[in-house]
Every structure is written in structure tokens, then in C-alpha cells.
Amino acid sequence: MKIMLVDDSRTIRNIQKNVLKQLGHTDIVEAADGVEALARFNEQVPDLMLIDWNMPNMDGLTLVQKIRQQNKIVPMIMVTTEAEKSRVIEAIKAGVNNYCVKPFTCESLGEKIEQTIAKVAASR
């Protein structure tokens, strides 16, 4: 399973990589903003994406909207400090499958990832 991590913080991407390793996922690609993520997405569609909201060049919400215009299937989890209900609703309307608020524990992020993968597998 190829998983793309999109976050402008390398520290966060490293923490996410460690969580994914613990869950047995090692095929990981990284992007530091929406523009880079979209370019990588167009090269090869990943099986799961973890996307930050506030990033330079292109924010996560715009990225989700752009991806959903061309791909309705790829599962996306928004991982962000944006914690208000209105933001969660906005992200879900844009097309994310799950939402994880920072700060997160490794356990809580792991649960969101496994939930999302299981839901997508069940729907196929």
C-alpha cells in the first residue's frame, strides 16, 4: 500500500512515518505542500493520503478539492490543527474520508488510519 504524507512540517511527517511503520506500512511518499503533492499524485496515485490543512503554496483543502475533481476513490485523512466543527464539515464536504486533529497521539492517529483503510476495503 502506497501512502502519501502531505505536511509542510518534516517533524510531523517523520512522526507519521513512525506510526505507519508500526502499522506495517513502509511504502511512503512525502510532499511539503499541495503543489508538490498534486504533482506526485499525477505521477502515481497513492492508496491513502494524510493531508495537512495549513501549508504554503497550496493548502490542504484546495488540494483535496483538486484531487476529488479527478479521483473520487483515493482515501484522504485531514491531519490538522484546524479543530472547529465548521472546519471539519468544510473538509468532509470537500471530500476527506476522515479527520484527525493535532495534537495527536500515535495511537489516535494509528486508529484513524486503520479505520479509514478498513472502511475503504469494506466498500470495495
Partner 1 sequence: MDVRFINAFVGAIQHVLRTMCSFEVKIGKPFLKTDSNPCADVSGVIGFSGDATGSIVLDLSFDVASKLATAFAGVEITPEHEGFADAIGELCNMVAGNAKKEVGEGLNISISLPNVITGKDHSVAASRTTQHIVIPCRTDAGAFYVEVGMVMGKNSAASRQVAAAGANS
Query: Least distance in Å: CB of 45 to partner 1?
Result: 28
Selected from 1, 39, 83, 118, the binder of partner 1 by CB under 8 A is 83
**β-bridge mates for residue 28, sequence order:** 3
Q: Tell how strand 3-6 and strand 28-31 pair up.
A: parallel
Q: Per-residue contact track with partner 1, 33 to 62, x per CB under 8 A? A: ---------------------xxx------
Contact 34, 49 (CB under 8 A): no
Selected from 72, 103, 123, 124, the binder of partner 1 by CB under 8 A is 103
Instruction: List alpha helices for the chain, DSSP H.
Output: 10-22, 34-43, 60-70, 85-94, 106-123
Q: Which is nearer to partner 1, 8 or 96 (CB)?
A: 8
Query: Least distance in Å: CB of 21 to partner 1?
Result: 12
Selected from 41, 76, 78, 80, the binder of partner 1 by CB under 8 A is 80
Q: Using alpha carbons, list the distances in angstroms from residue 72 to 24, 29, 69.
A: 26, 20, 7
The alpha carbon dihedral of 110, 85, 71, 31 has a sign of negative
Give yes or no for residue 24 binding partner 1 (CB under 8 A): no
Give yes or no for residue 8 binding partner 1 (CB under 8 A): yes
Which residues contact partner 1 by CB under 8 A? 8-12, 14-15, 18, 54-56, 80-86, 102-105
